[in-house]
Amino acid sequence: MSSQPLRIALLPGDGIGPEVTAEAVNVLNAVGQRFGHSFEFGTGLIGGCAIDETGTALPPDTVDLCRASDAVLLGAVGGPKWDNPTAAVRPEQGLLGIRKALG
């Protein structure tokens, strides 16, 4: 095993995102087991699910999680539920925000 686990921020997002990222975690764990690597996953909110839970597409806790991680695994963001073009807060603002925050 590697001496320290790789910290991965898991941002499942919306729609099919949680299903896809869950399978990606399974693959990473299998690779880690086979090749002696270990991973620690922390989960954050982004996009529509973040809007529903916090009122913002990118909560500060998610940015903090990503900055404290070695990598970010991002799922799908947005969907029909949040397709109002006149909405003040839209899921894609989370994508723009995380890109800006992480450079």
The domain segmentation of the chain, as residue ranges, is: 6-102
pTM: 0.93
Instruction: State yes or no: pLDDT of 60 exceeds 90.
Output: yes
In sequence order, which ranges of the chain are alpha helices (DSSP H)?
17-35, 48-54, 60-67, 92-102
How far is Cα 10 from Cα 35, in angstroms, rounded to an integer? Answer: 21
Instruction: State yes or no: pLDDT of 91 exceeds 80.
Output: yes
Please, what is the average pLDDT of the chain? 96
Per-residue confidence (pLDDT) for residue 2, from 0 to 100? 53
Per-residue confidence (pLDDT) for residue 46, from 0 to 100? 99
Instruction: State yes or no: pLDDT of 1 exceeds 70.
Output: no
Segment holding 40, helix H or strand E: strand 39-43
How far is Cα 32 from Cα 24, in angstroms, rounded to an integer? Answer: 12
Phi–psi pair at 91, nearest 5 degrees: -55, -40
Per-residue confidence (pLDDT) for residue 53, from 0 to 100? 98
- Token readout for 31 is 């690779």
